[in-house]
Amino acid sequence: GQQLNQSPQSMFIQEGEDVSMNCTSSSIFNTWLWYKQDPGEGPVLLIALYKAGELTSNGRLTAQFGITRKDSFLNISASIPSDVGIYFCAGQLLSGSGGSNYKLTFGKGTLLTMNP
């Protein structure tokens, strides 16, 4: 099935560093979402973006909805150990058909690990 192109695949960081990851698609999305998934858990919503160009913050997290509607990025500032996990971008595809309007298409994830 279709997936978004998410990069980087993995990152090793030091505590206190800033982190950037992004997501691109060949399709236009009308909503971008960023999730974090810890082992054995379902994805937890971090930030939702609903308008092209929108820049939204949630604490140390900042995300932007690309102006072309085909990309989004997530920044984490001053990383801490609990930021470790897998981050997923997800988009809601703009479609003229019925139910397919409401599915989410996910990236493959960015694994964030921290050097001790």
Chain residues that interact with another protein, rule: CB under 8 A = 1, 3-4, 6, 31, 33, 35, 40-45, 48, 88, 90, 92, 98-109
Q: Are 74 and 45 in contact (CB under 8 A)?
A: no
Question: Please, which residue, 13 or 111, has the CB nearer to another protein?
Answer: 111
Q: Between 66 and 107, name the residue whose CB sits nearer to another protein.
A: 107
Q: Is 80 exposed, middle or buried (0-12, 13-18, 19+ CB in 10 A)?
A: exposed
- For residue 28, the minimal CB distance to another protein (Å) is 16
Could you tell me the smallest distance in angstroms from the CB atom of residue 31 to another protein? 6
Q: How far is the C-alpha of 44 from the C-alpha of 46, rounded, in Å?
A: 6
